[in-house]
């Protein structure tokens, strides 16, 4: 089972963790300044070293993927929405079957090493990312400055080039109106709290991405430790808010079961409303109100109801209304699945 369908440590609140390292090849301009030959060379060099990296990684040129396949990678948070739209013919991904490792080639930087896990697993992930990074650095020389550290296209990534993030499900803080306080506290502690797809993205289904905003003057271990501490504080606050809501159990149960009733019985489900219903039933499942679902079913609901995943599943492009009808069918199938 792929990592995004598993439950992990503290996954009632922290859905997943990601560690990302941005790197560039020594002596080669940043992607935005590269000519076609330089972009081709970066692509070729990375394709050449893939067998030596290990981990069962495969090299896939982005241009060889159809639009639906690219969008499913976005929906799994493996690539950014912007990268999926890239017109660069030498953009690529290096990925394994489990999809917990996805190295992006020729996006903003030459190389973006990404590793993923369900739940709060930032310490294990940083060790894996550094292991892959050190293997690659022996095969390709990186742009590195003794004073500033790893050089990156975006100044905010210079230094370690490290971004650590978690995807947090915060429905109780939203319902109780305390999400703004938490958002301000996280930002004041040198972290960002944004929508699930990062900067500029809207919040869907009470899902927030928490990530570090400092990469210079701090070590990888310090960044990871700080993000873990802040994540644990957010978990604590969300669980307190859930306890408060549980005191008004009739109101909470009524909301959860109403939303579960819509999900279970609707003939059509829109893209916008479904994440809100799923957020509610995940809260109900985590609190033991709903016994018909488990962590795996909730994870499937979150992923397989997204537009590209629906169309990938049926094997063809669908109109919005066809997607809504298919989404309702998929939800029913997942709910009725055997344990």
CATH of the domain at 94: 3.30.590.10
**Structure tokens given for 68:** 């639906």
pLDDT at residue 156, rounded to an integer: 85
Can you tell me which residue has the tokens 């929405």?
Answer: 81
Average pLDDT, the chain: 94
Of residues 86 and 187, the one with the higher pLDDT is: 86
What are 191's strand-pairing partners? 212
pLDDT above 90 (res 238): yes
Top-ranked range on mean pLDDT: pick from 146-150, 247-251, 254-258:
254-258
| Greatest extent of the chain over all pairs of C-alpha atoms, in Å | 65
User: How many CA atoms lie within 13 Å of 321's alpha carbon, on the beta-carbon side?
Assistant: 0
Q: Are residues 171 and 258 in the same domain?
A: no
Contact at 8 Å (CB) between 269 and 324? yes
Interstrand relation of 149-150 and 92-95 (parallel, antiparallel or unpaired): unpaired
- For residue 173, pLDDT over 80 is answered with yes
pLDDT (average), residues 285-298: 94
**pLDDT number for residue 183:** 87
Same domain? For 119 and 186 the reply is yes
Q: Which residue has the higher pLDDT, 195 or 253?
A: 253
My answer on whether 30 and 81 are in the same domain is: yes
Q: How many domains does the chain have?
A: 2
In this structure, are 27 and 158 located in the same domain?
A: yes
pTM: 0.92
pLDDT of residue 187: 83
Q: Which residue has the higher pLDDT, 69 or 186?
A: 69
208 lies in the same domain as 118: yes
Q: What is the mean pLDDT of residues 258-285?
A: 96
> In the chain, what percentage of residues exceed pLDDT 70?
98
Residues 234 and 252 occupy one common structural domain: no
- State the residue range of the domain holding 297: 248-336
Same domain, residue pair 218 and 254: no
Q: Which CA distances in Å does 259 have to 68, 248, 255, 274, 284? A: 29, 17, 6, 10, 10
């Amino acid at each position: 089972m792929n990592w995004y369908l598993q439950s992990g440590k503290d996954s009632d609140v922290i859905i997943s963790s990601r560690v990302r390292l941005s790197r560039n090849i020594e002596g080669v301009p940043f992607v935005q300044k590269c000519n076609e030959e330089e972009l081709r060379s970066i692509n070729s060099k990375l394709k050449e070293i893939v067998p030596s990296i290990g981990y069962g990684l495969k090299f896939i040129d982005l241009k060889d993927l159809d639009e639906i396949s690219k969008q499913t990678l976005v929906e799994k948070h493996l690539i950014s929405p912007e990268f999926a739209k890239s017109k660069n013919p030498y953009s690529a991904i290096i990925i394994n079957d489990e999809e917990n490792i996805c190295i992006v080639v020729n996006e903003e930087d030459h190389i973006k090493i990404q590793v993923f896990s369900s739940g709060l697993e930032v310490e294990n992930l940083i060790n894996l990312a550094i292991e892959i990074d050190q293997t690659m650095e022996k095969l390709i020389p990186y742009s590195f400055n003794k004073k500033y550290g790893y050089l990156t296209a975006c100044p905010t990534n210079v230094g370690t080039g490290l971004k650590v993030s978690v995807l947090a499900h915060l429905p109780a803080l939203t319902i109780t109106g305390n999400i703004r306080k938490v958002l301000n506290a996280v930002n004041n502690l040198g972290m960002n709290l944004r929508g699930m797809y990062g900067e500029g993205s809207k919040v869907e289904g009470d899902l927030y991405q928490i990530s570090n905003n400092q990469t210079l003057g701090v070590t990888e271990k310090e960044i990871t430790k700080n993000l873990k501490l802040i994540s644990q504080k957010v978990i604590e606050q969300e669980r307190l808010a859930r306890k408060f809501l549980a005191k008004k159990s009739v109101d909470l149960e009524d909301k959860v079961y109403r939303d579960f009733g819509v999900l279970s019985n609707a003939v059509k489900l829109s893209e916008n409303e479904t994440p809100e219903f799923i957020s509610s039933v995940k809260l109900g499942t985590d609190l033991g109100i709903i016994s018909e679902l488990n962590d795996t079913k909730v994870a499937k609901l979150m992923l397989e109801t997204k537009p590209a995943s629906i169309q990938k599943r049926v094997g063809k492009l669908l109109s919005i209304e066809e997607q809504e009808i298919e989404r309702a069918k998929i939800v029913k199938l997942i709910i009725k699945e055997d344990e």
